[in-house]
Structure formats: structure tokens, C-alpha cells
Amino acid sequence: MKTTKLLLGFALLAVFLTSCYKEEIIVDDLGETPPTSVNQMLNTYELWYVDVNQTLGAGETPFLQIAFTLSFRNGVLYANNNLVGFGSQGNGFGIDVGTYDAFDGILDVNHDVDGYQTFDIFQIDYNTIELYNPFNDTSYFLNGYQRNTFDYDFVFYDNIHYFLQEYEAWEKTYTSQFGALNDFDNETYLQFLSGGNDSEFRSSRDVNLNNPNSIFWDYMGVYGVGNLSNNSALKTLTLDYDYFNNEYFELSVINDQRIELFHQTSGTIYEFSGRGYIQYLRAAETAEKGDATNKNTEVFLKKRKQKTPKKANPRHSTRN
């Protein structure tokens, strides 16, 4: 009987120890799942679209404010700041605008123009991250895409307003032989300014000028770009002159340097070619120009993109 009890005791002890051992293995296995690093998160997508209208906070980070997309590639930061060349410049990544380092939930950027900037990074969902700048208490939200699935055309046509501002002037280079005579036949140059109410334009009757800086602007007013149903690539353009009647057009883009305007009243077709490309590296008042800077124009220029009315940022930095 004693022998039986002793054997039974050993058996129960073995079962107990085996159960405990198995439990520990399960707990340890869960604890060994490695977290995703910041670099892995940034490299998951080739393009990060900057959804500027979702920004939280009263501050602004200049290079984020003007960028349509950012890309993080082996320590080099790329950005698509312009719509001219959008989708083709830098194989779709844009231009090299600085360097970055990512570690422990922090992103440090050395921008070529704006200098050092630092952010806390938070992953919101599978393809959305938040960049929180603790120095101005502002958060920007970026959505991740691959180049082969990113809709460059949608972003381009959704922002035609800014595309028109990327040249110092647009020169009329073609007028159709058909169409009724009208006052706009005599206007040769247009200029769309990112200033005032972000919708100012000027026009000129000068002819055959090689330098946009030499243009004398005869008229000015405000302009608006609208959508046409069932055709995202065709827009409306309204030129609201200060002292004259409005002019109405259908606007289509021929290529990155040429647009077509169909004058609805007369039935005339005009083509305009861009002169003096503006390379945006930061806020427009210090943009790098393809040609010499037009000092008369510079006073009209302001920030590249505008947010909707700013919202308070509930985020507080998690740093010590």
C-alpha cells in the first residue's frame, strides 16, 4: 500500500510539473514577438501622401506644408512639391530634399532649406502615420501607397489651382482660326498668383517677350477653377476682372508646360505655354525659380498650400 501511494505521488508530481512547464512556454512565446521599428514602418510604402487638410494644431512645418508626397529611402528624404513633373520626376519619388534618421519612435529630419526638424511618430492604422512636431504642437497625417497603385493623375487634376501657379507666366502660343472676335484675343500673357486670397491673376497685352520679368501687367482680378461632371481631367476656369466682365473657359492640360483654354462665349480655342518654372523647396516667398525672380510678383506669393481652418491638437509629446 505504501509503495502504491508513493508511486501515485510521483505520478501526480510529474503531471503537475509538466503542466507548469507547458504554461510557461506559451507565455514566453507571446512575449518574444518583436515590435515593428520606425524604419520598417516608413519603408513599408514607397510614397506617403501628406493629407494637409487633416493637420491638427496651430503651427506649421514648412516642408510638410508644401509637399504632396514624401518618400523615405535609405536615409534620404524625397518630396513631390510640384505638380509639374508629378509622377515622372525622380521616378515618381520627386526630388532629394534632405536626410533623415528614425529610431525609438522618433524621426529626425535635416531639410536642405528648413534645417533640423524632429517628430514623434505614431502608427494610426495599416497605412496611416502621424508625425507630431513637439516644438510647434502640430500633427501631420500621412497615408502610405506604392508607386504602381498611387493615383498621380487624381492628385494632379485635383490640384490644378496650384499647377497654374508653378510658372511665372503663361504665354499665348496658339489661337484657333475659328471663333468670334472678342476682347480676350488681345491678351497674350496670364499669371496666376499664390497670394492675397490665393486666387489672384494678372493679364497682359505685351507680345514677344522672352523674360517674364519684363511683362507689363494691364489687368488683374481673381480666378477660380471648377469641376465638370463625368470628366475629372476637364476643368472650368473663370477670370473675374476687377473692372470688366468675367471670362469663362474650359481648361484642359496638354502637358506639363502647355494648357488649352476653350472660350465658351466666342467658341475660340487658345493654347498657353508656361514660362519661368518655379521649383518649390519651401514656402513660396523663398521658392527657387527656374528663371530670375520677378520682384514685382514676389510680394503676392505666400504659402504653397492652405489648410482648412486649424483644429486644436490633443496630442502631447511622449518624450521626457
pLDDT single digits (tens) 169-200: 999 999 999 999 999 999 999 999 976 677 89
Question: Domain check: are 92 and 211 in the same one?
Answer: no
State phi, psi for 231 to the nearest 5 degrees: -155, 95
- The pTM of the full predicted model, rounded to 2 decimals, is 0.77
Share of the chain above pLDDT 90, in %: 67
- Residue 14 confidence (pLDDT) above 60: no
- Residue 319 confidence (pLDDT) above 90: no
Question: Domain check: are 192 and 277 in the same one?
Answer: yes
Question: Domain check: are 46 and 153 in the same one?
Answer: yes
Burial class of residue 272 (count of CB atoms within 10 Å of its CB; 0-12, 13-18, 19+): buried
What are the DSSP E strand ranges found in the chain?
47-50, 69-73, 76-80, 95-103, 106-111, 115-125, 128-133, 138-145, 167-175, 189-193, 200-204, 219-228, 231-241, 247-255, 258-263, 268-279, 288-289
Distance CA 169, CA 206 (A): 12
Q: Which of 113, 137, 157 is the last residue of a domain?
A: 157
- Residue 16 maps to a domain: no
- Residue 220 confidence (pLDDT) above 90: yes
Distance CA 97, CA 281 (A): 7
**Placement of cell 501511494 in the chain:** 5
- Residue 5 maps to a domain: no
Question: Domain check: are 166 and 143 in the same one?
Answer: no
Q: What is the domain extent for residue 256?
A: 159-298
Q: What is the pLDDT of residues 266-313, one digit of tens each?
A: 999 999 999 999 988 744 443 444 443 333 333 233 345 554 445 566
And the C-alpha cell for 43? 519603408
User: What mean pLDDT do residues 198-218 have?
Assistant: 93
CB 85 within 8 A of CB 157: no
The CB-side HSE value for 127 (13 A sphere, CA atoms) comes to: 12
**Coil/strand/helix, residue 165:** helix
95-98 contacts, C-beta under 8 A, 24 or more apart = 95/279, 97/63, 97/281, 98/63
CA of residue 49 relative to chain centroid, distance: 6
- Residue 70 confidence (pLDDT) above 90: yes
Q: What is the pLDDT of residues 85-134, one digit of tens each?
A: 999 999 999 999 999 999 989 999 999 999 999 999 999 998 999 999 99
**Placement of cell 511618430 in the chain:** 121
CB 49 within 8 A of CB 59: no
- Residue 253 confidence (pLDDT) above 70: yes
188-194 contacts, C-beta under 8 A, 24 or more apart = 189/215, 189/217, 190/272, 191/215, 191/217, 191/297, 192/164, 192/165, 192/223, 193/165, 193/297, 193/300, 193/301, 194/162, 194/165, 194/284, 194/300, 194/301, 194/302, 194/303, 194/304
And the C-alpha cell for 91? 521616378
Identify the pLDDT of residue 280. 82
Distance CA 237, CA 72 (A): 36
- Residue 209 confidence (pLDDT) above 60: yes
- Residue 314 maps to a domain: no
Distance CA 230, CA 293 (A): 39
Question: Domain check: are 115 and 182 in the same one?
Answer: no
User: What mean pLDDT do residues 129-147 have?
Assistant: 96
Average pLDDT across the chain, whole number? 82
- Residue 122 maps to a domain: yes
**Coil/strand/helix, residue 31:** helix
- Residue 226 confidence (pLDDT) above 50: yes
Tell me how many domains the chain contains: 2
User: What CATH number corresponds to the domain at position 119?
Assistant: 2.40.128
